[in-house]
Amino acid sequence: MPIITLTENASETVEAHSPIHIEAAPAPGYSTNVRLELQGDARANDAGASAVRLLTGTGLIKIVVKPLRGDEFGPETTVRVSAVRGRPGTPQATGVEFEPVTLDGRSDTVIGTLSYEGDRLVIESVSGTGRGETPFDGAAATLRAGLRANLGRRNLTGVVTPGTPTVLALDSSASLSSLATEEDMSLAADILIGIAGALNPDAPFEVSTENSSRPDLIDSREDLKAAALRALTAGAHRVGSGVRREAGVPGRPSFAISDEEPYGVEPHGLTIVIGKGAREGSRSATDTPGVLRVTEELAQEIRENSPRLDEVYSHIVESCAGDARTGEGIYR
């Protein structure tokens, strides 16, 4: 058989009469430092840090990738794992390849399983890309990876009820249009996309503006970013005070992107404040519970993936996981 691609939870049975070369390689356009291991009763020879040559085995054998250095994968770490008999890259090679998997913010990750059934080998994919695992890039990838690592270190789950839409109040006022730039809005949208990718990856966005009679349901990250940029442009032709974030509830934090500071502190959520006031003001990005200001310093730290972002990740998690007015439910 030729080399085929396994989708998530799919399987393929191949002959087991000769060794199988299993390797993790960077997906096109991505770089990674990854180690590949087989866990279980497998007899195999190492073929480098990211490859093994499977000879035989019994029971269920897991194909596991883990960071070559450190505790978790960094941003924009995407790999493609293959299990091939024969020389890879030649017409004689046969076997399977798994869909590319985005690993940023993860530690050990099971890509697939192997099991021998007599003279046959069953190869199964258990970790495909899925909508929530498609590659992220730029600021969104940085935020997503950092937040996932932060949640993992805290062993914190349940910040968001799975499948509930990510609720966003999107300011499209005249003041936003005059005080914020396209770069401001683009970065704010990327920050929100990264947050949603870590907290609520498989859910759509439920977006409201002051001009909408009911929220719009947006399924893709690209469409969300386009809607944010349209709101910025629309504000130049509108008079109004913009929309504000309503308080979230446990398991369903709410979000807003605005050029105005909230009147008070609302629980369970985050207002991302952009524009000239946030960029040039005296307050830091994380001075206020439930508020993240897109300051010049924050933008620079995101570009550099600075270690100082750890404070930002904790601020976001604590704003979304608890009631910032009372400290109830805040994880420290």
pLDDT higher than threshold 50 for residue 131: no
Domain ranges of the chain: 3-132, 136-321
Three-state DSSP class for residue 94? strand
CA distance linking residue 329 with residue 313, whole number of Å? 17
CA distance linking residue 141 with residue 154, whole number of Å? 20
Q: Which of 153-162, 196-205, 308-317, 322-331 has the lowest mean pLDDT?
A: 322-331
What DSSP element (H or E) covers 304?
A: helix 296-304
CA distance linking residue 304 with residue 296, whole number of Å? 12
CA distance linking residue 7 with residue 77, whole number of Å? 19
pLDDT higher than threshold 70 for residue 134: no
What residues contact 321, with CB distance under 8 A and at least 6 apart?
156, 159, 253, 268, 329, 330, 331
Q: Are 232 and 177 in contact (CB under 8 A)?
A: yes
**Listed residue (266, 183, 261) closest to 225, CA to CA:** 183
- pLDDT band per the 50, 70, 90 thresholds, residue 165: very high
Alpha-carbon torsion (297, 300, 305, 306), positive or negative:
negative
pLDDT digits (tens, 9 = 90+) for 24-80: 887 655 556 788 999 988 889 888 888 899 998 888 888 999 887 766 777 767 888
pTM greater than the 0.75 cutoff: no
Q: Are 156 and 245 in contact (CB under 8 A)?
A: no
